[in-house]
Amino acid sequence: MKKIAMIASVLATAILLFACQLLPEEEPKPNPTKPTEPKKPSEELDWESHNTDYSILIRNNTNERLVGFQGDLTAAKLIGGIPAHASNHGLPNDPKLFDVTKEFPLILLTEKQYNENNNNLLSLKNTPFTRVYVFFNKQGDNSVVYEIAAGLGGENSLRILNPSSTLNVEIRLGGVAGETVGYAPGGMQETILKLNDGNFAFFPVFKRYNRQRDVVETVYPKFEDGNPWFTTTSFGDYGGQGGIGNYREFTFNVRDLLKGLTMTSGTAWVIIDNQTNQGIRFLEGGSVRKTLSGLENVPSGFSLQWQIDMNRVSNNNYADSRVVSNWKFGPLSYETELQEDQDDSTKLNTVTIERDKMYTITVTGQPGSSSNPIKAWISDTRSIDVSDFNVN
């Protein structure tokens, strides 16, 4: 009987082991992992500085990473990213955006604004981080560095009201040659910029590209004594003094604040009147002056205009005049110095050019001719008419 029980036990054990071998192995359970977070829109942007084939150079004096757009807040107008505190950052030169010479407002958003409003960028039309007037030269020089003011990015509001349909106003800090805090294009009724606490002196500067003359015209209003016009304010907590409390908003109405003021350009203009039978050039020393579009020859029978910038005295002003030397005019290899006048061939080594004046230089003669040589002289001087810059 014991043998039978033992045999039964052995058989039961063998059957159990055989059955376990037939059961499928249990698959190992995967380790729980954290779900992958989707990429932020800004991670897809070009943040690299393009040091050779760039479109615009930016110096970002703020603590913010910025995203730049050409004229409009749409994906099609996106240029690229600008790191915080970037110096001479070259934005990419996308041929779809930078196909021709043009002026436009460079609209800048913070990286946070861009990420949070990526599906509705146009909602930030009146409240971007800032705007900057820029000029892109398809054929010529783009070495101008546009600065973004360090005071941007706080909780205080600067409201710029620009009722003009044609004039673009830049607001600069500390002087007409200071940092740009913002830009309100013509036709943009209201632009709101955010600033940090502190004391501010706002200087308005008006700009526009004159396609017919191929120059960027710049003027600014002045006080009766000739100094640049400005307005000041402070943002912050006054601690209840004078019943002020927290002062957080300042409105800059271009029309109201500048009514009755006169404008000054801070530059001189030179018009070259070519009465020779050849194309002529304008040389300053060994350098050929070119138009903004990169052209250097004034065709026979035509006139072209150049802007002569005055030397900067400080951020707050430009010099009243400038002494220039080694100006020459004429066809290639036949350029000649300025002379006293049409009938006096005495050469002028230096010429004093005054601010807000327009100088017409007439060039006549034929290259290689002894009886009718190339000659150039200042045939007319008059004040620049900036009346069409007045805000009305």
Please write the tens of the pLDDT for every residue from 119-160. 999 999 989 999 988 889 887 788 889 989 888 888 899 998
> Domains, the chain, ranges and CATH?
41-264 (no CATH), 267-389 (2.60.40)
Coil, strand or helix: which one is 18?
A: helix
Question: Are 159 and 190 within 8 A, CB to CB?
Answer: yes
Q: How far apart are CA 114 and CA 131, in angstroms?
A: 15
What's the pLDDT at 139? 78
pTM: 0.73
Residue range 315-345, pLDDT digits in tens = 667 888 999 999 999 999 999 999 999 999 9
Q: Measure the CA–CA gap between 307 and 277, rounded to whole angstroms.
A: 25
Residues 309-342 as b/e (b if ≥16 CB within 10 A, e otherwise) read ebeeeebbbbeeebebeebbbbbeebbbbbbeee
Residue 53: both structure tokens together: 């084939």
Q: What SS3 state is found at 6?
A: helix
| pLDDT value at residue 21 | 56
- Give the separation between CA 170 and CA 180, rounded to whole angstroms: 7
What is the structure's pLDDT at 14? 54
CB 358 within 8 Å of CB 191: no
For the chain, 392 residues long, the average pLDDT of each consecutive 10-residue run is 53 53 55 70 94 93 95 95 95 95 91 95 92 86 88 88 79 87 82 90 84 74 87 84 76 78 85 96 90 84 89 78 93 94 92 94 95 96 76 54
**Exposed, middle or buried by CB within 10 Å (0-12, 13-18, 19+), for 62?**
buried
pLDDT at 6: 54
What is the C-alpha to C-alpha distance for residues 108 and 183, in angstroms, rounded to an integer?
Answer: 11
